[in-house]
Structure 1
Amino acid sequence: MFDGFLLFTQGRGYPDIPTRRFLRYLVEQLHLPAYCLVDSDPYGFDILATYKFGSMQLAYDANVLRVPEIRWLGVFTSDFEEYCLPDCCQLQLSSEDRRKLEGILTRCYLHKEAPEWRLKLEAMLEMGVKFEIEALSASSISFLSQEYIPQQIRLGRYI
């Protein structure tokens, strides 16, 4: 079991400015660790990248909005097999997903600042599959909160 406390915030898709500033405050001022749990698809990764690196539209504010300390907690394409999720939860990447993923893989910061993230994205593209966070609740509604998240943090299974 996970003995620590967890403060949870949800950006409801791409994070807005107040959510990003709030998270940055928690990390900078309160020295709390930050983890990001997103769908295992190109859009989930893009949300994660917005937290860590900032957005192109607000590049001028990146220093006050980005959270470079954030860790990718999951979900990872490899989680699908590891947790024996039902096949119905796994989806094929669409041609749009593939184009978005290929575009993300060209971003220079992935080469310099997040090579492990790049490897996960390359694996997703190679496997040609994606799945949503909700798939982890296929066997139990409490699996995500009672097992997956605590285990990922406790075992350091984030990148």
Structure 2
Amino acid sequence: MIDLSDLLVPDGVAIGLTAASKKTLFTQIGGLAAPLLGLNPRAVAEALLAREKAGSTGFGGGVAVPHARIEGLDRIAILVVRLAQRLDFGAPDDVGVDIVVAMLSPPQAGAAHLKALARVARRFRDRRFVDKLRGAGSPDAVYALLTTDETRDAA
């Protein structure tokens, strides 16, 4: 099974970001991802926005998982952003999003992209886990929660 700790980019956690729109948020995620993954920040933002236009990636409970395939990546990577204020993502439950898990994949990732997306969705449907993320006081604390033994939390 794919583990979030294998996908999470070190230093790829940001808390307290403010964004008035998805476009602004995706620009910030591009800026976060670019130096960590050697990518063009505009390409990241545009790919996330293009995917979002195909349908909302908000899946409920205040969580969204925007995702895109990006040229130049050699692995699937996730970055996690906690927003200072909720942002409307058009989620099925109409709850604004404050936790964003951006997943970037190589264009050829295919089945691995879908498996990773399913893993992220399963993990972030756990309301207790999401509440812990909301309560974490620093990016390091969020990172630690995301990379601790997931099977122990699932019990």
Give the structure-1-normalised TM-score: 0.33
Structure number with greater Rg is: 1
The structure with the greater share of residues assigned to strand is: 2
The structure with the greater share of residues assigned to helix is: 1
